[in-house]
Amino acid sequence: MIDLGGNSRQSFAAMRGVLDGKLAGASSADCTAISAELFTVVFALNSAVGLRRACTDPSRDSASKAVLINDLFGKSVSRKVLDLLIEAVALRWSNSIDFASAFEQLAIEAEATAANQENEIDRLQNELFDFAGILAENQDLRRTLGAQMGSVEGKAELIRSLVAGKVAPSTLRLLTYLVNDLAGRNIDHVLEVYVQAVAARRNRLIVLVRSRSALSAAQAEKLTSLMADQVGQPVHLNFEIDPSVIGGVSVRFADELVDGTISTRLSEAGRALAV
């Protein structure tokens, strides 16, 4: 997870929730398109300090910031991404760098969601991690891809020559974005940011199911389908057997808890009677 200051941390959490809503029910191709547009925003923010500061200046009102966003991005991104930007500039950020970092994380997570739609998010995470090992073993490659100067298309072509056809499409896209916008950072650090962002998205799609005994295959399949319908994305179920659970199941997803156990209902009834 990216390291953000207090205000930025709260604002980023809000923006992730907004992104969740815009990605819910979206196809893999739609998620990839949103990711590409978000990376366009990231590239613009990283290349223009003045733009970052204008977006995060607490002395400017939200309306004037929205006008700025419309003027700059209104014709180059979709309504979904434009709305995301407008909501983001209305929030408080600790500094302008956090603002760009937050959008980089959102862009990566959008592509990770595309991979999830193809049931390839685990593969994506593993392949990014493996690429870090390739860089560690090949210093010439690391220096070439990590150079702050150099041809953008040249780096992209080198990435394609190395991994095209060998990795998931989402992996190829993210590696291409990565080498073309290091923004003055060490390539190893940026790759770690990408790995952690994919892991963060995967974690948001994990459902923890607590029950007294193991669910049958049919029950697990039905619960998976119900949660996927609710989330609008494929989800991953993790099961925990808990002898303290009396009937029913407790389901935790992201920050939400759906507790249908008898013990919880009895506790709630007891509290109600005590009032």
Task: List pLDDT tens digits, range 215-251.
Answer: 888 888 888 888 888 778 888 888 888 887 777 777 8
Per-residue confidence (pLDDT) for residue 261, from 0 to 100: 54
In this structure, the strands spanning 249-253 and 206-211 are antiparallel
Cβ contact 58:123 at 8 Å: no
Domains of the chain, with CATH numbers? Answer: 6-203 (no CATH), 205-274 (3.40.30)
Question: Is the pLDDT confidence value at 1 over 70?
Answer: no
- The stretch 199-203 carries a mean pLDDT of 91
Per-residue confidence (pLDDT) for residue 258, from 0 to 100: 59
- The stretch 95-108 carries a mean pLDDT of 96
- The stretch 14-35 carries a mean pLDDT of 95
pLDDT 10s digits, 263-273: 444 344 344 44
Cβ contact 258:227 at 8 Å: no
Cβ contact 100:56 at 8 Å: no
Distance separating the N- and C-terminal Cα atoms of the chain: 42
Question: Is the pLDDT confidence value at 260 over 60?
Answer: no
- The stretch 160-186 carries a mean pLDDT of 95
Per-residue confidence (pLDDT) for residue 225, from 0 to 100: 86
- In this structure, of 62-76, 114-128, 149-163, 200-214, the range with the lowest mean pLDDT score is 200-214
Higher pLDDT pick, 50 / 236:
50
Name the residue among 204, 206, 214 with its Cα closest to residue 249: 214
Phi and psi at residue 250, in whole multiples of 5°? -110, 125
Question: Is the pLDDT confidence value at 135 over 60?
Answer: yes
Tell me whether residue 34 is exposed, middle or buried, using C-beta atoms within 10 angstroms of its C-beta: 0 to 12, 13 to 18, 19 or more: buried
Phi and psi at residue 170, in whole multiples of 5°? -65, -35
Question: Is the pLDDT confidence value at 68 over 60?
Answer: yes
Residue 121 burial (CB count, 10 A): 25
- The stretch 5-16 carries a mean pLDDT of 92
- The stretch 168-186 carries a mean pLDDT of 95
pTM for this structure?
0.85
Residue whose pair of structure tokens reads 């980023």 in the numeric block:
12
- The stretch 190-219 carries a mean pLDDT of 89
Per-residue confidence (pLDDT) for residue 240, from 0 to 100: 87
Per-residue confidence (pLDDT) for residue 256, from 0 to 100: 59
Question: Is the pLDDT confidence value at 78 over 80?
Answer: yes
